[in-house]
A = this chain, B = another copy of it.
Amino acid sequence: MNDITFAVLGTGGIGRRTLEVSQHEDELTPVAACDRHGTAIDFDGLDVEELLAATEGNIDSGPGDGDVATDGGAVADAPSGVKQHGESVGVVASEQATPSDDPIQAIIDHGDGIDAVLLALPNYEHDFIPRVADRFLEGGYSGVLIDVLKRSRVIEMLDERGEDFDDAGITFVCGAGATPGLLTGAATLAAQSFVEVTDVDIWWGVGLKSGYEDNRGTVREDIAHLPEYDIETARDLSEAELEAVIDDHDGVIEFEDMEHADDVLLERAGVCDAEDVSVGGILDVRRDEKPTTTTVSVTGRTFDGETATNTFELGDATSMEANVNGPALGYLKTGVRRNRADEYGVFGPAELMPRF
């Protein structure tokens, strides 16, 4: 149980920060990382520092990203010990990619030595992550898949694949970031005082001045939640248009009633109805300080007839990256434990205690 090998699919902000956080954890060894340009594999353990330097400036890109030129170094350029794929393979899930240039296939081909794969890709099409999961199913992968997806609608698609994951020996941990993720878990714990939960309010604050470059993909995903946008229109914005949206809001964007999977995950775990869950927050790209404190508030009725609210607050100095990537690895470790105990299928943060 002591050692866990993992791969990261995607080397934008999430993938890279996860590799960085994993350096602090002895029991985790990153052995593969891939992005649209290629795959780095080293079963002795990737040299994370080299990889971070080589992939600096990578965008959490998706199908619609027109600014290929602004892509920073590619995984394929990383120094010795790393497999090279000369040709750009285009988008990771592109049908145009040839097998030898297909990063997902490369990971699947080495699947025996990989306990878990973190899908650190932004969800630019509503079924993108489920289709990536299908690739792993078709490729005969057995192990753990972790996702930090946010959209509620994706959970049902994953559940539809539940039996397939079961048959394949795959433990899929979904919503393994902050929201959904850590904050969903906090809501589930907070619910324990009650016999009925009437309201779950998840409110996040992110200051992203220094972190903006690394996390443009995540910002794009957030903008898709604004009333005037959706997944497709946000995906198709150029980098310049994205920045114009941000400027229109003077760098501070407030979100309400976001479609975040905390709602369906909590309902799925029997905590409350999805409609009783609200997720919102404030993003400020002009400052590193959080514009508001990230707070989970769970209101319910106790067995002895009282109504009360339990709250969970994240310290303001904990960055978005710390709160997404720490839990992602925590859920990865718990997922591996489940998988090694032969527990397959789809699990969410309302069901698992992440391991430190």
Contact = CB atoms under 8 A, between A and B. Distances in A.
A326 B206 CA distance: 33
Contact of A352 (B24, B193, B304, B353): B353
Number of copies: 2
A44 interface: no
A21 to B, nearest CB: 5
Contact of A317 (B307, B318, B325): B307
Given A192-B354, A194-B322, A302-B317, A312 B186 contact: yes
Given A21-B303, A302-B318, A306-B317, A354 B193 contact: no
Interface string A301-318: 011101111111111111
A307 B317 CA distance: 7
A342 B341 CA distance: 8
Contact of A356 (B188, B326, B330): B188
A216 to B, nearest CB: 18
A343 interface: yes
Interface in A184-216: 185-186, 188-197
Contacts of A147: none
Interface in A315-348: 315-319, 321-323, 325-327, 330, 341-343
A327 to B, nearest CB: 5
B306 A195 contact: no
Nearest to A191: B356
A193 B186 contact: no
Given A353-B351, A355-B270, A315 B308 contact: yes
A24 B303 contact: yes
A317 B194 CA distance: 11
B315 A309 contact: yes
B318 A310 contact: yes
A193 B323 contact: yes
A356 B317 contact: no
A17 B17 CA distance: 46
A302 B314 contact: no
B189 A189 contact: yes
Given A303-B24, A312-B311, A315-B308, A182 B192 contact: yes
A269 B194 contact: no
A356 B193 contact: no
A318 B308 contact: yes
Interface in A211-269: 269
A145 interface: no
Given A185-B189, A186-B189, A318-B306, A194 B311 contact: no
30 contacts: A17-B303, A20-B303, A24-B196, A182-B189, A182-B192, A186-B312, A190-B312, A192-B354, A192-B356, A193-B314, A193-B327, A194-B318, A197-B356, A269-B356, A270-B355, A270-B356, A302-B317, A303-B325, A304-B321, A306-B318, A308-B314, A308-B316, A308-B317, A309-B315, A310-B315, A310-B318, A311-B313, A312-B313, A341-B343, A352-B353
Given A303-B325, A351-B353, 8 more contacts: A20-B303, A21-B303, A24-B195, A188-B356, A303-B321, A306-B317, A313-B313, A352-B353
The 7 closest A-B pairs by CB, nearest first: A308-B315, A308-B317, A24-B195, A302-B322, A306-B317, A193-B318, A353-B353
